[in-house]
Amino acid sequence: MPQLLAFAGSARTDSFNKRLARLAAARARDAGADVTDLDLRDLDLPLYDGDLEAAGGLPAGAVALKQAMGAHDGLILACPEYNGSITPLLKNAIDWASRPLPDEPPLASYGGKTALLLSASPGGWGGMRGLVHVRAILSGIGVHVVPEQVAVARAHELLPPETVESGALPDERLDAALTRAVMQIVDTTARLTR
């Protein structure tokens, strides 16, 4: 049974991407994965600073994130797009998790992991431009990012709170795409961790 960690790169309480992450996590559970939901807001990660790290090591939030990632085989990431790119919150989390603990090899939190990328935005592109950057970052640090990805445009219409409760996107084509993407991360992770 693949172990997946699901979270959004948004701190906003009522984030469309948090809703999308929860929807995908529920679908992955239905497909047989063991999924843990995480909220980056709960980790209290300071802005990455090498001097801070040198003076006191990794902050507690970074250690907690690394422990969560270490306990899972893959990631389901719902990535908001800020000005055509990755959010500062998500990039900061990626950077902190990349830092080694004592006696740990570089990028230990990422090597051999899989990832599914999702995004949601009220705009017409659905956050697609930001996913290009997230894919490049993760691929560059040893993560196998599955080819399928889903970008939900018009998120204010397609991801109201009741969408998560119902378990389905109201757009059947998009809902089917989400199912395919989730099945791909579950299947790929299961094959790579056998």
Query: pLDDT tens across 28-46, in order?
Result: 999 999 999 999 999 989 9
In whole angstroms, give the CA distance from residue 102 to residue 9: 27
Predicted confidence at residue 190, as pLDDT, reads 96
Predicted confidence at residue 164, as pLDDT, reads 86
In whole angstroms, give the CA distance from residue 134 to residue 93: 12
Contacts of 13 (CB under 8 A, 6+ apart): 41
The predicted model scores a pTM of 0.96
Instruction: Sketch the domain layout of the chain as residue ranges.
Output: 3-192
Annotation: CATH topology of 3-192: Rossmann fold (3.40.50)
Low-confidence ranges of the chain (pLDDT < 70): none
In whole angstroms, give the CA distance from residue 57 to residue 105: 15
Predicted confidence at residue 39, as pLDDT, reads 97
In whole angstroms, give the CA distance from residue 189 to residue 47: 31
Residue 148 in tokens: 């399928």
Predicted confidence at residue 194, as pLDDT, reads 77
Predicted confidence at residue 60, as pLDDT, reads 96
